[in-house]
Structure 1
Amino acid sequence: MKSITSSLNVRSVISSGDTIILATQGGLGVYHLNSGNYTVYTKDQGLVDTDLITVHKGPKGFIWIGSDLGVQVWSLIDEKRLDWFQLDIEAVSGFVTYKDMVYGAVKQNGVWGIMEFIHSKGKTYYRDFYGRDDIGYIDDIVKFGDDLILLTDLGLIGGNPHETHPIFWENRFNKDELPIIAMAEKDNELTLVTSEAIYSIQLGQNPIPLVTNQSEFSTIRSIAVRGLLDYMAVTDSAIYRIGTDMFEKQFSDAGFHFSDITISNSLSVIGTNLGFAQFDGSTLSHIAGNEPIIAAPQVISITPDNKLIMANERGISLSGWTNLSIFAYSVGFSTQLNLEQSPINLGNRVSRMILGKDGNVYMGLIHSTSAGIVALDVSNGIKVHQLYFPKIQSTEDEVFIVSGIALDGKDNIWSTSVNNYNQPLSVFNGSLSRHFSINESGGILSNSSNAIAADNFNRIWIGSPSGLVMYKYSGDVMDPTSEIWIEESVDPEMTIRVPLDINVSAKNRLWILTPIGLIHKDLQVSDTNPVSQTGPTGTNGELFPYFPNVVFNSHSRIRFDPRGNVWVTSETDGVHIVNENGEYWPDINGLNESNSSLLSNHVNDVTFDNDEGIAYIATDKGVSVIRIPFSEEKKSYNSVNIFPSPFRIPSSIPMTVEGLKDESSLKIMTLNGEVLRSIPNSEVQGYQAYWDGRDTSGQLVGTGVYLIAVYDKSGAATIGKVAVIRE
């Protein structure tokens, strides 16, 4: 499993010599000023969490990383994680080093305080947590002399952790009881920002206001000490130089959204939502690589030319990478970042993404002021092809809320919408549209209708709070010759069972996700009696849903891989997989953070590369890419691939043979043709087989070159070679 993340959204930035270190939404970024080399470390390189909040250089040059999943310690030299401290940590807002000990501003089990770590004999140890029940939050922590200063909702609180327990620490430097907006420290000079003044505090002296009464003070996001009485600060889109009676705006651009600032060799280094920048007092140099801007995709799909496309309320990314962003564009953006401003508003969520037979990508939008559905032409970049407009409740507040979209066999686009004039169902074809009222359905449609799917008989299925609605038309849907509306219960034993999502498999089985698990209905040709049976059922004949203990909601999705296996997403429990026969893969627990390298248990969507057998799992922390034993059926052995070669044994990771036809078996042989191991078809997983380097007796084979014979029942065969090194 590997990861696709975006490191463009920078939360925290520090410098060390010629190295810039970034805590980003997509991992740990390390940029070398002299060479221009930029590396992002994710779960692929050993990080436990990639959605990072703060970063700090501590003793021995180790990098301390804070996130909502705890504290990680990273070695820049060895490029690996040294330690991870979870310790029921819920948030980390900063670190400082004091006398070779590291202190973190941490929220643990609902209580904010400082957490103490020590480094001894080459190892890092957690020592203690000092909580303060009276503190609502800690925004920052700095060292000032022998004191640690905490920026809290109670103002500045400080003390020496080696002398006084933090519960006895007192308020410091609070002028006129105004809230402190930001603070920074360097060389025993502390600066504080309030809504009325920016103060300088020298060690052992009283605060001195450098500049007062500027309306922009309240918008400052971060401040850094450049030198004595000399500071730099950033607001959302402006950079200021601050000194005695000086508050000078040196740069402003609405295309940038600044988050943090530090000083490196007299230059300001600034984190933004699209990479980072260097500022020399007059020129801003933006630095960003060719990355997706989408760090937490809500929807994901594969285009006809096998490009990955993903989107959320912030924009759209197409592998390559080409990006559309809802934010203002700046001519100052790095030329490495392929970015254009989106011509439409994407609302607060992209509900669905489906691929049309015309090659266009269709997206449903929630709370968009532009449209309910957008069709994208992705043949050459990302271009808006057409907009579709369901009925809305009020023209005075023109907002579209499309929760479900589907394509039927006649290339009509269907949608469900919840803010309308009692017309929750719409259909579009080119410039034509039709909106179905609740009365037309005989009262069985609902203003709360959500999920929608088309079956193999070209019937439309709609999920509603009271169950399922089936609609069948004859002729042209815009002016049909006949129509049938049928109401179908989700669970025959229950009057009301709300469907969270629905989808129809290639075998014409309607899968229904409910709050108590996944069920299915086998469909038949009869339009008046479309369901032949409901399952799965237990031995007593009662309905027995799959995954009854998994938490699902209206954002959970049902997807099918190339072999028809059912993948169901959860925002809390990862992704779960079951086949048509009720068999789980890899087991009943599915894929989650604890049993795989999945970026997050918050899974929004999944799509598949059918030829290669690859699943792209969209999470709130990026995309996890996993090779699965389910691809489209191979017609020949032309694409057989054996890896790794050389295969070093013993190994916890087996050798893989992929590209196999169905019903394949394998034999591992010496160059003389002696069979050392047979792998029958029953041990082959889809188009992949595995070998652990052992013979039939369970003994490791010796170093050498071995033949891998692959064959099926029809007599088709191929032979490959692999080098084995026994260590």
Structure 2
Amino acid sequence: MDLLSNFGALFRSGAYRGTLILRKSFVVFYWSFFIASSFSQSRVGEWESYTSHLDIVQSIEIGDTIVSATSGGILLYHQLSGRFEMLNNTDGLSTTDVSAIAIDKNGYLWLGGASPNGVVQIYDPKSHESVAVFDFDLSEISDITVSDSVAFVAYLQNQDWGILEFIWKDDAFSYRQIFNPSVAQLSFISGVAIRGDSLFAATDLGVFVGNYRDYILNYPQNWSLLPGLTDVVRMQQEGNELLILAGGDIWSYSDSLRLMSNHGTNMLDVVRSPDGTIFAAAKNHINRYDSDGNVESQWTSKGNIHRLLSLSNGNLLTSTNRGLAVWDITDGTAAWHAPNSPASNVYTALTVLDDGRLVAAGNNGVAILSDNGWYNLVASSTTEAFHEFTSDHYSGFVADTVMYRTNRVWSVVERDGRIFYTIQGAQPTVINGDTIRGGVISFDLEDPSDFQIYDADNSGLNPHNNDGYLNLRGLYVDSDNNLWISNFGAADIDKKITVLTPDSQWIHIPQTGLSSKCYNPTDILVVGNEGIFMVGSNTDHIRQGKFFVGEYEFTKLESGEDSVLVDWHFFNSNESSDDNTVWAQVATESGTAWVLTPLGLRRLTFNSTYTSASQYFYTYFFGVGFGEGSKIVSDSRDNIWLNSTSSGLFVLLANSSPWPDWNGFHPDNSFLLSEEVLAVAFDDECGIAYIATSKGINSLRIPFADERTSYSKIRAFPSPYRIPSSQPMVIDGLMDESSLKIFTLSGRLLRTIQSLSGDVSGYQAFWDGRADSGELVGTGVYLVAVYEPGGESFVTKIAVIRE
């Protein structure tokens, strides 16, 4: 059974805190400015981040709490209660991919960023607030050590390794200088440690030692090497002792070097337990050594081990790619613990179901977010396991595993209660006697064990070669429930576009009579009930990309088979460019298509028969850079969202103005997790945009939602509203162009909020507790009258407490 499908039930915190970022020199300070309990009571413009905290890189023990650096942020595991807290950028972390962690005398965490963002942050885990961030444009941080008066950070910058020194001065740590222990080029610095006035640096050339108080360690000549050590992969400090893994051996250093064991080959970390026993960990097992340095016993780990930690109760803790494991050193048994989260940070396709569930698909499988939490269907090449989960299980990691050949996912859709997604490059492979396949993957939402793989052997999908290789791209479900499939890699030109009908018939769209063929189809869409499909294609080293439009008609033959008549047309997406690649397209009003090209967003306007098109002269978001995997989607208000796989997220409103501006969304001006934006999807009823990035999934409460036809769902929060407050009361559920008036119970008008004012954003209005005069109102109950130009109105009560 795969470990990912068999974690115990654990707890997760749902609290998130936002932060405002102000940059000054190399130091970034953060202040909390709102707390969003959930999107059921959130304001337009508020962000959430959903990151995976399963891949745990390093852990430390603070009281009964295990604090871990993960690829999704900081994970706090409270051992006594079994409760988890997961912290990410909305909690004030400057990076969510954390590679190193330490604690200082103030109880603050020192955090180091993984490649390529080697930032150093001091963070208060009690208040969930940042103390300071030091950003020197480093590539990565490998280790941190802190004493009462000094801290040292091992870093990589491009190809150069070094050590940062921070000193305690004026009641704060501040950056002082850089140390370089070696004249020769270092391949790595795996660890740093402080003992007295000496700083130790573990490297590929050995362990360097320098007196940081008496000597200037900027100069390599002021360092010395411990004799006989090379390729030091780990150095652990246990009180006055340093345990060193070097060249396949385990060494101890107090006043002199002492060989503890020569059975340390392939070991990654080493610790000594309180009873004096030495343990070392390889990727998938732990060795226990006897007093002579021989391996006394070996315990197999179900997760890949990154680090070891000797706990104060005598047990061992392993930080792995599948959560935490606490090992009983008396018998070698492990208790596994992991929080409820997605199994991965990288999902390349998103869709939102009618009931509001988010479905994210990627190389690792599928993750589904519901009111209960995250459910994962994990792709595996060796294991298939399904379980019956209840709501109680969602306090921990929840996963089933299924066997299929995985790769990047291009598109995911829902049809008749089933999820379909495409694998961008999959070839049947025999593993342990089983043939692992890929192609179009489908499963039943309510019973994921009802799983189907459509590949070249069991479907109408045409492979790229005789080995059955499939390279599939866009999916689209039309109004007749036909599933359209863009078969990028099909060898047969007349099977590049394939349709799976509701009654499981396969129809191919022939390219007969088309002078410029659609060789490399990317995304595909069907325009309403007009019998029109649109498909983009990309330029390769042989063929030019084009934008194709086809008029089609399905007919039923006497044999019962389906047939299709199609009339193709092709267009250049940009007449002034040699590259007419189209990555994706959307159709807004009838006769208009927006196409995403490598150069930016273009608008094409067609005649009534879609046989000719005129191009708008302007390229929106020109120069941003939209590479393969960049896409566009439209929300329910016909606003167009463009994701760049290298340069952030951009929005063009239906009136052709940008939102919030032409610069778009980036990690330095929002809570966007990464510049690499991979997919966008919408909960149009609630007004939520979900944004998949290379570092996790964001959600953003947007002012664009399905048009409200009444005030039946209006509500105000927080209730009661305590003033003065840095945050306004929100009146949610407004119809379009709504205005508000706030009265006393006796009917005296206190405040008017007009629809065009800055206090109304889409379906939400904001009130700061003040009258039109600017004065705060008093404690009491007030009436809010909401109305719109069509004559609809509604009156509700709100409570205010003035403190």
What letter corresponds to residue 205 of structure 1 in structure 2? S
Alignment equivalent of 1:361, drawn from 397, 419, 424: 419
C-alpha change, 1:646 and 1:237, in structure 2 (3 Å) is same
Task: Give the match's secondary structure for 2:465.
Answer: coil
What letter corresponds to residue 351 of structure 1 in structure 2? W
Alignment of 1:10-29 (within 5 A): 10-29=56-75
Alignment equivalent of 1:80, drawn from 120, 125, 129: 129
| Offset at residue 173 of structure 1 (A) | 4.0
What letter corresponds to residue 240 of structure 1 in structure 2? N
Q: Which residue of 2 aligns with 1:124?
A: 173
* Distance in 2 of aligned mates of 1:400 and 1:563: 36
| Offset at residue 276 of structure 1 (A) | 0.4
Count of equivalent residues? 706
Q: Are the counterparts in 2 of residues 486 and 528 from structure 1 also a CA contact under 8 Å?
A: yes
Task: Give the match's secondary structure for 1:695.
Answer: coil
| Offset at residue 329 of structure 1 (A) | 6.0
Q: Are the counterparts in 1 of residues 203 and 230 from structure 2 also a CA contact under 8 Å?
A: no
| Offset at residue 467 of structure 1 (A) | 1.9
Alignment of 1:648-659 (within 5 A): 648-659=722-733
* Distance in 2 of aligned mates of 1:580 and 1:645: 35
Q: Which moved more, 1:593-602 or 1:377-386?
A: 377-386
Q: Which residue of 2 aligns with 1:191?
A: 243
Task: Give the match's secondary structure for 1:462.
Answer: strand
Alignment of 1:278-317 (within 5 A): 278-281=326-329, 282-317=332-367
Q: Residue 373 in 1 paired to residue 440 in 2?
A: yes
Q: Which residue of 2 aligns with 1:95?
A: 144
C-alpha change, 1:127 and 1:109, in structure 2 (3 Å) is farther
Task: Give the match's secondary structure for 1:681.
Answer: coil
Q: Which residue of 2 aligns with 1:267?
A: 315
* Distance in 1 of aligned mates of 2:334 and 2:295: 19
* Distance in 2 of aligned mates of 1:695 and 1:493: 57
What letter corresponds to residue 445 of structure 1 in structure 2? K
| Offset at residue 716 of structure 1 (A) | 2.1
Q: Which residue of 2 aligns with 1:581?
A: 655
Instruction: For residues 275-317 of structure 1, give each alpha carbon's deviation from its aligned partner in whole angstroms, at most 9, with x where no partner exists.
Output: 1010013210001133221323222221233212112211211
Q: Which residue of 2 aligns with 1:325?
A: 378
Alignment equivalent of 2:552, drawn from 453, 473, 484: 473
TM-score, structure 2 as length reference: 0.81
Q: Are the counterparts in 2 of residues 315 and 326 from structure 1 also a CA contact under 8 Å?
A: yes
C-alpha change, 1:287 and 1:562, in structure 2 (3 Å) is same
Q: Residue 352 in 1 paired to residue 411 in 2?
A: yes
Instruction: For residues 26-56 of structure 1, give each alpha carbon's deviation from its aligned partner in whole angstroms, at most 9, with x where no partner exists.
Output: 2211122223232122233222222211111
TM-score, structure 1 as length reference: 0.90
Q: Residue 715 in 1 paired to residue 715 in 2?
A: no
What letter corresponds to residue 64 of structure 1 in structure 2? W
The share of aligned pairs that are identical, in percent, is 28
C-alpha change, 1:115 and 1:31, in structure 2 (3 Å) is same
| Offset at residue 659 of structure 1 (A) | 0.5
Task: Give the match's secondary structure for 1:44.
Answer: helix
What letter corresponds to residue 602 of structure 2 in structure 1? I
* Distance in 2 of aligned mates of 1:48 and 1:259: 23
C-alpha change, 1:107 and 1:721, in structure 2 (3 Å) is farther
Q: Are the counterparts in 2 of residues 87 and 108 from structure 1 also a CA contact under 8 Å?
A: no
Alignment equivalent of 2:582, drawn from 472, 475, 499: 499
What letter corresponds to residue 112 of structure 2 in structure 1? G
Q: Which residue of 2 aligns with 1:38?
A: 84
Instruction: For residues 464-523 of structure 1, give each alpha carbon's deviation from its aligned partner in whole angstroms, at most 9, with x where no partner exists.
Output: 223212223222497545321211111234454222322223655321112222122234
| Offset at residue 703 of structure 1 (A) | 4.5
Task: Give the match's secondary structure for 1:326.
Answer: strand
Q: Which residue of 2 aligns with 1:539?
A: none
Q: Residue 445 in 1 paired to residue 492 in 2?
A: no
Q: Which residue of 2 aligns with 1:691?
A: 767
* Distance in 2 of aligned mates of 1:139 and 1:448: 46
Alignment of 1:395-414 (within 5 A): 395-396=466-467, 398-414=468-484
Q: Are the counterparts in 1 of residues 484 and 500 from structure 2 also a CA contact under 8 Å?
A: no
Alignment of 1:375-394 (within 5 A): 375-381=442-448, 383-389=450-456, 390-394=461-465
Q: Residue 593 in 1 paired to residue 593 in 2?
A: no
Task: Give the match's secondary structure for 2:761.
Answer: coil
Task: Give the match's secondary structure for 1:403.
Answer: coil
Alignment equivalent of 1:2, drawn from 44, 48, 56: 48
| Offset at residue 228 of structure 1 (A) | 8.3
| Offset at residue 412 of structure 1 (A) | 2.9
Task: Give the match's secondary structure for 2:490.
Answer: coil
* Distance in 1 of aligned mates of 2:749 and 2:591: 44
* Distance in 2 of aligned mates of 1:211 and 1:279: 24
Instruction: For residues 421-472 of structure 1, give each alpha carbon's deviation from its aligned partner in whole angstroms, at most 9, with x where no partner exists.
Output: 25361313254335567x7463523443323222232322222223212223
Instruction: For residues 298-340 of structure 1, give each alpha carbon's deviation from its aligned partner in whole angstroms, at most 9, with x where no partner exists.
Output: 2222123321211221121112322122346699x99633222
Q: Which residue of 1 aligns with 2:325?
A: 277
C-alpha change, 1:680 and 1:18, in structure 2 (3 Å) is closer
| Offset at residue 685 of structure 1 (A) | 2.7
* Distance in 1 of aligned mates of 2:515 and 2:280: 60
Q: Are the counterparts in 2 of residues 304 and 359 from structure 1 also a CA contact under 8 Å?
A: no
What letter corresponds to residue 467 of structure 1 in structure 2? K
C-alpha change, 1:394 and 1:330, in structure 2 (3 Å) is closer
For structure 2, the 5+ residue unaligned runs are: 1-46, 428-436, 540-544
Alignment equivalent of 2:253, drawn from 196, 199, 202: 202
Instruction: For residues 60-94 of structure 1, give each alpha carbon's deviation from its aligned partner in whole angstroms, at most 9, with x where no partner exists.
Output: 22211111251121223434322222232331111
Alignment of 1:499-578 (within 5 A): 499-505=582-588, 507=590, 509-529=592-612, 531=613, 533-535=614-616, 543-578=617-652
C-alpha change, 1:705 and 1:481, in structure 2 (3 Å) is closer
* Distance in 2 of aligned mates of 1:61 and 1:453: 55
Q: Are the counterparts in 1 of residues 509 and 566 from structure 2 also a CA contact under 8 Å?
A: no
* Distance in 1 of aligned mates of 2:414 and 2:321: 30
C-alpha change, 1:506 and 1:271, in structure 2 (3 Å) is farther
C-alpha change, 1:69 and 1:638, in structure 2 (3 Å) is farther
C-alpha change, 1:203 and 1:569, in structure 2 (3 Å) is same
Q: Which moved more, 1:665-674 or 1:135-144?
A: 135-144
Q: Residue 630 in 1 paired to residue 704 in 2?
A: yes
Alignment equivalent of 2:740, drawn from 645, 662, 666: 666
Task: Give the match's secondary structure for 2:756.
Answer: helix
C-alpha change, 1:647 and 1:306, in structure 2 (3 Å) is same
* Distance in 2 of aligned mates of 1:86 and 1:629: 34
| Offset at residue 702 of structure 1 (A) | 4.5
For structure 1, the 5+ residue unaligned runs are: 536-542
Q: Which residue of 1 aligns with 2:397?
A: 337
Q: Are the counterparts in 2 of residues 200 and 229 from structure 1 also a CA contact under 8 Å?
A: no
What letter corresponds to residue 298 of structure 2 in structure 1? Q
Q: Which moved more, 1:310-319 or 1:30-39?
A: 30-39
Aligned-pair Cα RMSD in Å: 2.9
